[in-house]
Structure 1
């Protein structure tokens, strides 16, 4: 391979001229395109950083809202539990009061029945006393015997 020096030098000179022509006509455009691309990449990176920061802020805000909602839920649950306990206590108190009331009414009913029974017994005692008196008058007994019969009758009846 014989390469002539003159051809080699001419190739280098032509290459240098092409580079100078390219630099003169296209270098600024190429630098502009590279700068534009660099600005585009920087803008995208900046936007990505901003979006990342916004996402982080939204995440923190959402976590705060979620925590607040959980706390509010706990408060609501506690209030409802307290209301339930209060209703439970009211029901228990009402049941106790109703039981006391029923007991009192039962006592009154028993007392009335007792008085009614005593009245009936007294009524029967009077009736029997009258019957005894009628029998005593029919037999023509003396006053001492009559008193003795009534006293015995009253002792038996328990008046």
Structure 2
């Protein structure tokens, strides 16, 4: 294959002319478009970085707010727990006081009943003594026999 010098020179001259025309008319426009695209991409990257930073700050703020909410929730729970314990203690104290009052009333009532029973026994003893005296008088028993009967009666009443 043989290279023709005139064709080679013509091709180089055509290439240089084509390059000069393209450079003069198109390279500036293409370079401007490329620069414009590069600037747009850089702006979008900067905006994305700013948005990522904002998102990170929002996430940090949300985490702080969540932590505060948890702490506040714990405090509220603790306050309610303390109130519940206080109410529980009041209820227990009231119940104990009520139980003491009921016990005291029962003791008073028992003492009253005991006194009633003692009074009734005394009346019965008196009635029996009167009845015994009537029998002693009616039977006209001697004095020693009377003492014996009264002694037995007192022993019986004393044991009851």
Instruction: Please identify runs of 4+ aligned residues in structure 1 that moved more than 6 A.
Output: 145-152
Q: Which residue does the alignment assign to 1:5?
A: 5
Q: Report how far residue 3 of structure 1 moved.
A: 1.1
Q: Which residue does the alignment assign to 1:101?
A: 101
TM value normalised by structure 1: 0.83
> Residues 75-154 of structure 1 correspond to what in structure 2 (within 5 A)?
75-139=75-139, 153=153
Q: Deviations over 1:81-136 (max 9, x none)?
A: 21222122123212322331232122112111111111111221222233234334
Partners of 2:102 and 2:36 lie apart in 1 by 96
* More divergent stretch after superposition (52-61 vs 100-109): 100-109
Q: Report how far residue 71 of structure 1 moved.
A: 0.4
Q: Unaligned 5+ residue runs, structure 1?
A: none
* More divergent stretch after superposition (30-39 vs 96-105): 96-105
1:58 pairs with 2:61:
no
Partners of 1:121 and 1:157 lie apart in 2 by 9
Q: Unaligned 5+ residue runs, structure 2?
A: none
Q: Report how far residue 139 of structure 1 moved.
A: 4.0
Partners of 2:6 and 2:97 lie apart in 1 by 127
> Residues 31-42 of structure 1 correspond to what in structure 2 (within 5 A)?
31-42=31-42
* More divergent stretch after superposition (51-60 vs 87-96): 87-96
Q: Report how far residue 150 of structure 1 moved.
A: 6.5
Partners of 1:16 and 1:93 lie apart in 2 by 110
* More divergent stretch after superposition (67-76 vs 134-143): 134-143
TM value normalised by structure 2: 0.83
